């Protein structure tokens, strides 16, 4: 049986992850998983822990936290050159934990623990984004989605002011405060070499289907198809945006005349003025940004054992 390293973010889910960790640890022992674990101490720590675990010969890495924790785990494996060689398990205890809705990992932490013993695996794509922070160009993997514009400003407000309230209340309050102050931006968007300059509200580049605590942002996204789904909300008015937001939870927003859904392997977004960039719900930096798909990058444990 594989020996697993669990990387636990006790701060995820406004501290819910830390409160559940004793139950999770006891359950994993009861079901017979061979494991050790480490607790994260600060943002970015899970990257270091995952990188070191890969280099020390662990066969499975398990993320215990939210989408941001999983993002760091996958980036740590990428830095170690181990994304294609190790199995990644997910126990979702974070604020949103949207990615597991796409790939079939159980939302119940008890079922997610049992899935780690299942022989079933799913190989999925990841996205790579290059962006700017402090005048430096940096690179980061994302597993679920990334965005610039209104979307990233909501992430900023949610993380800085409301995260302790829980997934949906935090997102809705972040959305409301952003709605009051945000202005649509001019951007040049290039998809697989074809460019178009337009005024947009937001651009979301998706590998998974869900974001924002249950919003069906990219209902047609397939994490195994070797493509990234690009949703652009063009120059929409604020009343129309407010009226249309509930449609995102149902995935019916793609029929709106201001919403454009496309697919590409490589995307470049060059805003005319500074705009924030988020990936997997974590604020990274600013545009311009370049995205590309990394096919078959991660192997997931996805199904509970019988």
| Residue showing tokens 């359950």 | 27
Same domain? For 86 and 141 the reply is: no
Positive or negative, the CA dihedral 150, 155, 157, 163 is positive
Mean pLDDT in residue range 77-89: 90
Which region, left, alpha or beta, applies to residue 241 given φ > 0 means left and ψ of -120 to 50 means alpha? alpha
Same domain? For 157 and 63 the reply is: no
306 assigned to some structural domain: no
200-249 confidence digits (pLDDT tens)? 999 999 999 998 778 899 999 999 999 999 999 999 998 898 888 889 88
154 assigned to some structural domain: yes
Integer CA distances (angstroms), 181 to 170, 198, 305, in order:
17, 20, 48
Mean pLDDT in residue range 131-156: 91
218 assigned to some structural domain: yes
172 assigned to some structural domain: yes
User: Is pLDDT above 80 for 172?
Assistant: no
Q: What is the residue range of 74's domain?
A: 3-117
101 closest CA partner among 266, 255, 212: 212
Same domain? For 43 and 131 the reply is: no
Integer Cα distance of 228 and 215 in angstroms: 18
Binning pLDDT at 50, 70 and 90, where does residue 161 land? Answer: low
Same domain? For 274 and 141 the reply is: yes
Is cis: bond before 221, omega within 30 of 0? no
């Amino acid at each position: 049986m594989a020996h697993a390293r669990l990387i636990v973010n006790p701060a995820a889910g406004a501290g819910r992850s830390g409160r559940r960790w004793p139950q999770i640890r006891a359950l994993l022992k009861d079901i017979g998983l061979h494991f050790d674990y480490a607790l994260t101490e600060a943002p970015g720590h899970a990257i270091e822990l995952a990188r070191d675990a890969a280099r020390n010969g662990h066969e499975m890495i398990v993320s215990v936290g939210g989408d941001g924790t999983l993002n760091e785990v996958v980036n740590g494996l990428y830095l170690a050159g181990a994304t294609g060689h190790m199995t990644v398990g997910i126990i979702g205890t974070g604020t949103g934990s949207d990615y597991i809705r796409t790939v079939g990992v159980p939302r119940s932490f008890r079922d997610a623990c049992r899935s780690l013993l299942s022989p079933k695996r799913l190989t999925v794509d990841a996205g790579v984004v290059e962006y700017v922070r402090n005048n430096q160009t940096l690179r980061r993997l994302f597993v679920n989605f990334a965005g610039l514009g209104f979307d990233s400003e909501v992430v900023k407000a949610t993380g800085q002011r409301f995260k302790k309230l829980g997934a949906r209340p935090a997102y809705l309050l972040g959305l409301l405060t952003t709605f009051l102050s945000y202005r649509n931006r001019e951007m040049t968007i290039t998809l697989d070499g074809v460019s178009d300059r337009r005024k947009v509200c937001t651009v979301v580049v998706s590998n998974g289907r869900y974001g924002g605590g249950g919003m069906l942002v990219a209902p047609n996204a397939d994490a195994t198809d070797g493509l990234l789904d690009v949703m652009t909300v063009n120059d929409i008015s604020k009343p129309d945006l407010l009226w249309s937001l509930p449609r995102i939870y149902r995935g019916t927003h793609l029929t709106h005349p201001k919403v454009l859904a496309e697919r590409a392997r490589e995307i470049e977004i060059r805003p005319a003025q500074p705009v924030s960039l988020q990936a997997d719900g974590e604020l990274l930096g600013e545009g311009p940004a370049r995205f590309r798909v990394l096919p078959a990058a991660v192997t997931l444990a996805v199904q509970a054992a019988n």
